[in-house]
Each structure stands twice: as structure tokens, then as C-alpha cells.
């Protein structure tokens, strides 16, 4: 009824304007309502255009400050060519100005490492977590092998973003086109900037950093503010799945941020979002890359798959590691390569060689006993001659204790 009345009023208004125009006579007096409407629309478009330009300029200024190229890698043209792309998300636990506690120039470890593939053809996004304790050979650059075995989260500490990217590429045999590094302590600001995030809490728990008020989480759907989202992402030891459970919650929060950032309500918060990102993010995505992704890849944000590299707990020189079986590394490599429209390739890297060597020595990824198995990272070769069989140790790699801030 209200709609009908509204239509009747509009029709009467149009009729009244038509009647007034018909009594004026002369060509210049025809259809003044249409001319007025055209003038109003022109002004509206001008205002919107000016406002849009203001948003564009502010975004370009804010996001332009986040750009940092990767040493030894030419900028990728995949986004401009609308090809499937891969991005390594690095969550680094530092404080402002790279200072933590009393240690200056603290770089920190990439305690969160997630490989993201985005395919604009299939409109699908895949997120695969690599556990921070995963055993990996650390690379500083494409042609700079440290010949050290360590936890993969130390790669960033060893050689910045370049080392983290190349080490992950070598482990999974995939190309990584871009990286996005976010200071994990800034997660709180980012979540608040997008108006909070919605998650499905898997079980009830409470968590808070030392000296801070705990956040309380109840099983089921919850809307989290920044402080809650940070606590939700950090809790590890009370999770039945340990670090794997924490990875799931981190992927939940990241997925929720993407959805919140893509919603209409975030448009009104654009300056807060830009400020939170520009002060906490580093990436080799240029501003034009971000524009192209928004225009050509946004459909893939509607379907986000979640996965992780499943490791096997073991000891290396007295330190606990997650050793990924060759079968698992191959599964993840196949999945990511498929999402990038690449053919499958058989993994053949230092990790698979070490797995094969240890299995020959009796190590089993199927072992379910209570005694912790030790994993050897120094391979020996056996040779036979006229005097018998001899064993020669080849120090291809050795376990590294890594930076002190594990």
C-alpha cells in the first residue's frame, strides 16, 4: 500500500510538472523537470567522482608506503595478465620499530606462514598453513643455500622475506609470486578497522598475554573485536590439536577479515582500514596490482578452502620438530600446483632425501609408540671395496639451533 501511494505521488508530481511546462510555451521551456534532473545528476556524479578521487588518492598514498620488492626477484606480471597467483602470508611477532623487550633490532620469526593461491578462472582461493616447527632446509636466496636444517619459521629471521619465500618454494616445489608480511601485533588494529570479525569457536577457552586481561571464548558463533581476535589467534597450549589447532583459528580470522573488508560496511571505515594496513604491512604487491586484484580476482574471495601441512613430531639434536612425510609434502605440492594451473612434479629436495635416508635407518612415520624417535639430518653413504663395507658420513646438512628467539 505504501509503495502504491508513493508511486501515485510521484506520478502526480510528474503530471503537475508536465502541465506547468505545457503552459509556458516556446522551445526553451520544454521539459524543465528533465533538465533539472539532468543538472542534479551531473552535480551528484561530480561530487561522487571528486569523493572517489579523494579515496583513490588516499589509498594510493597509504598503500604505496607498504611496497617492498624482493631482492633477486623481478616483479611478477601475473596479476596484470589475470593469471593464477600465489602469495605467502607472513605473521611476524614484533613490536613497534622492530624492538621486543630489551633486544634491539629484533626481527622475530614468522610464526604464521600461510601459502595462499588465488585463481581468477575457477574463482577459488586456497589457504595452506605451514606449521612454524616444520623441518626445512633454510635458503637465503634462490642461489644461496645455507646448508642448514632448522624450523621453517626461522627463515625470516635468517634472511628476511626473501629467505622465507625461497625456503617455502623449495620445500613445496611451487613458485611464490608475492608476499604479504604483517606485524602480528597489528592484527588487533586491522580487525577493529573492519568492524570486527565473525568466527565459529571450536571449544570454550580463555586466553590473554601475561599482564593483560584474558579474553573468554564460548563454543559457537562469536563476533570478535581486535583484542579478542588477537588472543583467539595466539592461544596454543590448551588446544587439543596444539599448533595445528591454532593454525585453523588463524585461518578463520584471516578469512573473516577478508570477508569483512569486502563488505559494504567497510567502505565507511576506509580510512581506518588504510591506516591499520599502511602501518603494519609490507608487501611486493604494487598499488596497481592491488587494484587489478580487486577488479579481477574478487570473485575468488567467495570460495576459500583451508588446509595445512601435517607433520610428524620428532626430535632433532634435542629440539622438537614437525617432520613432514614425503607423501604429505607431495600432496600439498600437487594441490597448490593444481590451483596455479601447473602440472604435477615429483618432489626431489633435501627434505625428501632426508626422509628416505631416515626411513632406511628404521625411522617410521607410522610409529605410534611412546618413545620419541630421533631424526638424523647428517646423511651417511655406504661403499663396498675389497676390504669390505665402509660407512662415510657426508655433512650435506646439519641441524641448526637457529636464532635464540625460537
CB 217 within 8 A of CB 126: no
Asked if pLDDT for residue 282 goes beyond 50, the answer is yes
Q: Domain ranges for the chain, please list them.
A: 35-64, 67-353
100 DSSP assignment: B
* Tens-digit pLDDT profile for residues 134-175: 999 999 988 888 888 999 999 999 888 999 999 999 999 999
The mean-pLDDT minimum among 36-40, 61-65, 210-214, 292-296 falls in 36-40
The percent of residues in the chain predicted with pLDDT above 70, rounded, is 68
Please tell me which residue, 354 or 72, carries the higher pLDDT value.
354
CA separation (Å) from 163 to 16, 98, 178, 363?
73, 18, 13, 29
Cut 0.85: pTM above it:
no
pLDDT digits (tens, 9 = 90+) for 97-122: 444 444 445 567 887 899 999 999 99
pLDDT above 70 (res 266) = no
Mean pLDDT of all residues belonging to the chain = 77
At 350, is the pLDDT very low, low, confident or very high (cuts 50, 70, 90)?
very high
Q: Where are the beta strands (DSSP E) in 266-361?
A: 281-283, 304-308, 312-316, 319-323
Rounded to whole angstroms, how far apart are CA atoms 219 and 205? 8
CA distance linking residue 294 with residue 186, whole number of Å: 23
Query: What are the residues whose beta carbons fall under 8 Å from the beta carbon of 32, sequence distance 6 or more?
Result: 17, 20, 21, 24
Contact present, 135 and 154 (Cβ < 8 Å): no
**Res 262 pLDDT > 80:** no
What span, in angstroms and rounded, lies between the C-alpha atoms of 156 and 405? 12
Distances (CA, A) of 79 to 165, 277, 285, 288: 18, 21, 9, 9
Q: Which of 19-33, 167-181, 200-214 bottoms out in mean pLDDT, i.e. has the lowest?
A: 19-33
pLDDT given at position 36:
55
For 359-397, write each residue's pLDDT tens digit.
999 999 999 888 888 999 987 655 445 555 444 444 444
Q: What is the mean pLDDT of residues 267-290?
A: 71
Q: Is 284 left (phi over 0), alpha (psi -120 to 50) or beta?
A: alpha
- Right CATH for 67-353 from 3.40.630.190, 3.30.9.100, 3.30.360.10, 3.40.50.300: 3.40.630.190
Amino acid at each position: 500500500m505504501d509503495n502504491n501511494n508513493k508511486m501515485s505521488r510521484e506520478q502526480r508530481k510528474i503530471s503537475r510538472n508536465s502541465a506547468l511546462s505545457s503552459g509556458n510555451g516556446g522551445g526553451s521551456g520544454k521539459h524543465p523537470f528533465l533538465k533539472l534532473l539532468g543538472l542534479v545528476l551531473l552535480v551528484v556524479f561530480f561530487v561522487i567522482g571528486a569523493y572517489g578521487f579523494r579515496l583513490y588518492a588516499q589509498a594510493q598514498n597509504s598503500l604505496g608506503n607498504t611496497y617492498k620488492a624482493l631482492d633477486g626477484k623481478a616483479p611478477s606480471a601475473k596479476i596484470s595478465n589475470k593469471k593464477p597467483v600465489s602469495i605467502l602470508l607472513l605473521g611476524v611477532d614484533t613490536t613497534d620499530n622492530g624492538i621486543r623487550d630489551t633486544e634491539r633490532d629484533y626481527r622475530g620469526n614468522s610464526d604464521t606462514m600461510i601459502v595462499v593461491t588465488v585463481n581468477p578462472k575457477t574463482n577459488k582461493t586456497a589457504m595452506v598453513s605451514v606449521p612454524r616447527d616444520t623441518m626445512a632446509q633454510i635458503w637465503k636466496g634462490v642461489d644461496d643455500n645455507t646448508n642448514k636444517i632448522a624450523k621453517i619459521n626461522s627463515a625470516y629471521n635468517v634472511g628476511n622475506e626473501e629467505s622465507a619465500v625461497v625456503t617455502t618454494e623449495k620445500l613445496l616445489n611451487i613458485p611464490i609470486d608475492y608476499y604479504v608480511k604483517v606485524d602480528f601485533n597489528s592484527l588487533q588494529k586491522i580487525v577493529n578497522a573492519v568492524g570486527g570479525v565473525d568466527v565459529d569457536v571450536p571449544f570454550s577457552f580463555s586466553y590473554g598475554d601475561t599482564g593483560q586481561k584474558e579474553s573468554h571464548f564460548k563454543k559457537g558463533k562469536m563476533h570478535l573485536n581486535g583484542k579478542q581476535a588477537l588472543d583467539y589467534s595466539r592461544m596454543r597450549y590448551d588446544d587439543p590439536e596444539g599448533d595445528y589447532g591454532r593454525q585453523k583459528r588463524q585461518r578463520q580470522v584471516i578469512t573473516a577479515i577478508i570477508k569483512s573488508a569486502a563488505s559494504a560496511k567497510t567502505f565507511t571505515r576506509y580510512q581506518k582500514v588504510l591506516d591499520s594496513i599502511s602501518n603494519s604491512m609490507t608487501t611486493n604487491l604494487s598499488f596497481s596490482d592491488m587494484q587489478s586484484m580487486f577488479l579481477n580476482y574478487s570473485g575468488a574471495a567467495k570460495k576459500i578452502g583451508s588446509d595445512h601441512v601435517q607433520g610428524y613430531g620428532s626430535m632433532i639434536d634435542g629440539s622438537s620438530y614437525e617432520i613432514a612425510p614425503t607423501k604429505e609434502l607431495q600432496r600439498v605440492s600437487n594441490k597448490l600446483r593444481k590451483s596455479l594451473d601447473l602440472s604435477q612434479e615429483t618432489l626431489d629436495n633435501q627434505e625428501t632425501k632426508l626422509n628416505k635416508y631416515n626411513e632406511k635407518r628404521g625411522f617410521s612415520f607410522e610409529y605410534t609408540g611412546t618413545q620419541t624417535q630421533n631424526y638424523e639430518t647428517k646423511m651417511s653413504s655406504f661403499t663396498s671395496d675389497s676390504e669390505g663395507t665402509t660407512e662415510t658420513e657426508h655433512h650435506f646438512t646439519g641441524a641448526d639451533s637457529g636464532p635464540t628467539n625460537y
